Structure 1
Amino acid sequence: MLVVRPGGPADTDALLELAYLSGKGFTSLPENRETLAQRLELSAASFAGQVDPTEAWYVLMLEDTATGRIEGVAGVKGAVGLQRPHFSFRVVTFTQFSSATSTRFDHQALVLVNECTGHSEVGSLFLRPGRRQAGTGALLARARYMLIAAARERFSQTVMAELRGWFDERDISPFWEGIAAKFFRLPFEQADHMITTTDGQFIADLAPRHPIYLELVPAEAREAIGMVHRHGEAARHMLENEGFAASGLIDIFDGGPTMVVPRDRIATVRDARILPAHVADDPSLAAAPERLLAVPAAAAFRALRAGVLVGDEAIVLSSAVARGLGVGSGDMVMVC
Structure 2
Amino acid sequence: MLIVRPVTISDLPAIERLAIASGVGVTSLPANREKLFEKLQRSMSSFDNETVADAGNDYYMLVLEKDGEILGTAAIVAVAGFDEPFYSYRSETLVHASRALKVNNRIHALNMCHDLTGMVQLCGFFCEPQPESYTAELLSRARLMLIAGERQRFGRRIIAEMLGTHDVAGQSPFWDAIGRRFFNMDFPQVELAFAEHSKTFVAELMPPYPIYVPLLPDAAQHAIGQVHPAFEQPCNILVREGFEGDQYLDIFDGGAVLTAEIDRLFTLCHHDCLPVEIAASLPESAQEALLANTACAEFRSVVGKVAVADGVAWLNPDVARALCLTSGQQVRISALQGE
Report the TM-score range of the alignment, normalised by the length of the smaller protein: over 0.9
Partner of 2:21: 21
Partner of 1:195: 194
| 1:295 equivalenced with 2:297 (yes/no) | no
Secondary structure, counterpart of 1:89 in structure 2: strand
Partner of 1:324: 322
Partner of 1:82: 82
Q: Deviation of residue 207 (structure 1)? A: 2.0
Q: Deviation of residue 283 (structure 1)? A: 4.6
Contact preservation (8 Å) 2:89, 2:251: yes
**Quick one: percent identity of the two aligned structures?**
37
Secondary structure, counterpart of 1:71 in structure 2: strand
Residue 28 of structure 2 aligns with an amino acid whose one-letter code is S
Partner of 1:116: 116
Partner of 2:100: 100
Distance 2:326 2:132 in 1: 30
Q: Deviation of residue 313 (structure 1)? A: 2.1
Residue 213 of structure 1 aligns with an amino acid whose one-letter code is Y
Secondary structure, counterpart of 1:231 in structure 2: helix
User: Which of the numbers 58, 61, 73 marks the counterpart of 1:59?
Assistant: 61
Q: Deviation of residue 311 (structure 1)? A: 2.4
Q: Please, what TM-score do these two structures have when normalized by structure 1? A: 0.95
Distance 1:225 1:171 in 2: 16
Distance 1:271 1:327 in 2: 21
Distance 2:212 2:222 in 1: 14
| 1:135 equivalenced with 2:143 (yes/no) | no
Q: Any residues of structure 2 matched to 1:149-164 within 5 Å, and which?
A: 149-164=148-163
Q: Deviation of residue 291 (structure 1)? A: 0.9
Secondary structure, counterpart of 1:94 in structure 2: strand
Partner of 1:258: 257
Secondary structure, counterpart of 1:300 in structure 2: coil
Distance 2:180 2:132 in 1: 36
Distance 2:203 2:105 in 1: 31
Q: 271-280 vs 98-107, which deviates more?
A: 98-107
Partner of 1:184: 183
Residue 170 of structure 2 aligns with an amino acid whose one-letter code is D
| 1:242 equivalenced with 2:244 (yes/no) | no
Q: Deviation of residue 109 (structure 1)? A: 1.2
Q: Deviation of residue 154 (structure 1)? A: 0.4
Q: Deviation of residue 214 (structure 1)? A: 1.4
Distance 2:190 2:328 in 1: 51
Q: Deviation of residue 199 (structure 1)? A: 4.2
Q: Any residues of structure 2 matched to 1:220-235 within 5 Å, and which?
A: 220-235=219-234
Distance 2:302 2:137 in 1: 11
Q: Deviation of residue 284 (structure 1)? A: 2.6
Partner of 2:337: none
Secondary structure, counterpart of 2:273 in structure 1: strand
The change in CA–CA distance for 1:204 and 1:155 in structure 2 (over 3 A counts) is same
Q: Deviation of residue 321 (structure 1)? A: 0.8
Partner of 2:305: 307
Distance 2:186 2:146 in 1: 37
Give a deviation string over 1:64-89, Cα, whole Å, max 9, x none. Answer: 0x2x1111111111011221010101
Secondary structure, counterpart of 1:282 in structure 2: coil
Distance 2:210 2:306 in 1: 54
Distance 2:122 2:309 in 1: 31
Partner of 1:45: 45
Partner of 1:281: 280
The change in CA–CA distance for 1:98 and 1:132 in structure 2 (over 3 A counts) is farther
Secondary structure, counterpart of 1:131 in structure 2: coil
Distance 1:78 1:44 in 2: 14
Give a deviation string over 1:215-264, Cα, whole Å, max 9, x none. Answer: 22111111101000011111121111101111401000010111111111
Secondary structure, counterpart of 1:10 in structure 2: helix
Distance 1:283 1:164 in 2: 42
Secondary structure, counterpart of 1:235 in structure 2: helix
Q: Deviation of residue 50 (structure 1)? A: 5.7
Q: Deviation of residue 305 (structure 1)? A: 0.6
Distance 1:109 1:37 in 2: 40
Q: Deviation of residue 171 (structure 1)? A: 2.4
Distance 1:301 1:246 in 2: 30
Name structure 1 gaps, 5 residues minimum. none
